[in-house]
Amino acid sequence: MLLQRANVATENQHQKATVNEAGASSSSSSSSYTQAAVRNKKHAVIRPGFWRLSAAGCAISLSFCSTLLVARVLEPALFGQYAFALWLATAAAPAAAASLAELTGRVAADIQSRAKPQIAVGIFFFVLRQHYRKMALYCLLYLLLIIPCVMFFGANVSFTLLLLAGLTIPPLMSGGIVSITLRSLRRSDLLATIHLLSAAVTLLLVLLSLQSAMPDTGRAYLLLLAPAAAGMFTLFVALFCIGKLLPLREAREPGTNLKQQMRRGLRNPLLLFLLDAIVWQHAELIALGHGQSAAVLGFYILSTMISAQFMRLVPTLYTTCILPLWLRAMPGRRSLSAADAYGRTTRALLWLTIPACALGIYYCPALIAGCFGTAYLPVVMPLRILLVAAAAGSISSASVTRLLREERRRAQTWLSAGSATLTIALAIPLIALDGITGAAIASAIAQCFCAVGTMFICSRSLRCRKTL
């Protein structure tokens, strides 16, 4: 999804600013909060993103282990019901909380970082109030749609599964508030640690759930509670950390002008995110859920989960490790313009992604059989197709970041509308013709179209700016 692809180049955009900040002397202040913020900025520049890379890698590995255990314990049909319920509960949540996404919430994080500690606390509570209204509305709509979903999808999902899957929504949507505040404090290391803690607690709860003597259906209910419980626990830990970093008892209400700036910063392009969700959150699952079996759903959802992690892997490696090391080893090779930085990032992602994609496609059967068992070998063909689209999305991540920074929302909206239309137009006939393989082909074509279009729009925008 756009939210996932937008995360991958954020560190690249902040690197130049943080390098300049490291050499400047901090203004004198008696506040320990301000001094800590300056130390955090310098710390992020002096050391490359080794800890963030390690934490992100460990979090991805632990999440994969959790999925692996769930898939091996549950039979394919029950795993399909479990995964489909989670998808229905969380697919639209990023669009509903688009204002708290990595890039759309960056303006709010910048405003909060420049405010005094007491005002920063007031901004935190202001964002909290604004956000929980949207979360309450989303949860209400979700509860109202549970019974229609059960009637439409039939045996592929149950009322209890959807109800338990809905418990993952509040911590998922609340994580955006924590991300904004920690980014404003320049505590990306702490944010990575919280993500790692969430993955570790989820894996622990999954292991505990597997020890129960309940039948498979009851075990699936327990496994659905694991991510919800882990999310709530890590949310409380994150709020505790924010309470230690900010003087919560000294909160001061931000002024009218500051509130207006925050509202503008948190204004979410809902249409863009909804259109983008159709493409990158695999809306073709709705057609699969209505016309295919639960086992087929499980195979396809597993392939989408693996391809999504692959799409994040290479850009995360580049932005948190390779790029900081490169800038530190060769400070004289810094980019002199936005077009130069964009070209270097895109070329680097291209040369890193293509070999990784080729290896993934070649060793896919052995990895699926070894990790999930031979019962999940039908995952191989759709996964190979989706890996091609994931590679295109990975390469286009720098373009997504650049366009959102320049607020080229009109061009992005038209492109996303075309990609969403292409997804719907291709998914229905191809699913009827070839099942999950047809669904993968439709999704891959639409995602590649969106990724290539994004790179074309970004390149053209940079060329026009250079000409002017």
- The last residue of one of the domains, among 219, 240, 268, is 268
* 147 and 277 belong to one structural domain: no
* 260 and 115 belong to one structural domain: yes
CA dihedral 368, 373, 375, 380 (to 10 degrees): 10
| The model's pTM | 0.82
Res. 343 pLDDT band, cuts 50 70 90: confident
* 143 and 99 belong to one structural domain: yes
Closest by CA position to 263, among listed 95, 134, 130: 130
How long is the chain? 468
- The last residue of one of the domains, among 215, 240, 268, is 268
- Among residues of the chain, what percentage have pLDDT more than 70? 78
* 81 and 185 belong to one structural domain: yes
* 61 and 175 belong to one structural domain: yes
* 414 and 466 belong to one structural domain: yes
* 230 and 317 belong to one structural domain: no
- Cα separation, 92 vs 50, whole angstroms: 32
Q: What is the pLDDT of residue 188?
A: 77
Comparing 18 with 410, which gets the higher pLDDT? 410
* 327 and 467 belong to one structural domain: yes
Q: What is the pLDDT of residue 118?
A: 81
* 113 and 236 belong to one structural domain: yes
pLDDT higher than 90, residue 272: no
pLDDT higher than 80, residue 43: no
* 222 and 301 belong to one structural domain: no
* 72 and 188 belong to one structural domain: yes
Condensed to tens digits (0 to 9), the pLDDT of residues 231-243 reads 999 989 988 888 8
- Cα separation, 269 vs 264, whole angstroms: 11
- The last residue of one of the domains, among 223, 240, 268, is 268
- Burial call 8-44: b when 16+ CB within 10 Å, e when fewer: bbbbbbbbeeebebeeeeeeeeeeebeeebbebbbeb
Q: Is residue 18 domain-resident?
A: no
Name the residue type at position 395.
Answer: I
Q: Is residue 11 domain-resident?
A: no
Q: What is the pLDDT of residue 251?
A: 79
Owning domain of residue 258: 48-268
Q: What is the pLDDT of residue 4?
A: 45
Comparing 304 with 51, which gets the higher pLDDT? 304
Q: Is residue 23 domain-resident?
A: no
Condensed to tens digits (0 to 9), the pLDDT of residues 393-424 reads 999 887 876 766 655 667 778 888 999 999 99
Least confident residue range of 25-34, 121-130, 390-399: 25-34
Condensed to tens digits (0 to 9), the pLDDT of residues 194-223 reads 889 999 999 999 999 888 777 878 888 999
pLDDT higher than 80, residue 258: no
pLDDT higher than 80, residue 33: no
Q: Is residue 24 domain-resident?
A: no
Mean pLDDT of the chain: 79
- The pLDDT of 251-267, averaged and rounded, is 73
* 358 and 289 belong to one structural domain: yes
Q: Is residue 27 domain-resident?
A: no
- Cα separation, 99 vs 426, whole angstroms: 30
- The pLDDT of 339-364, averaged and rounded, is 86
Number of domains within the chain: 2
Closest by CA position to 320, among listed 113, 51, 108, 120: 51
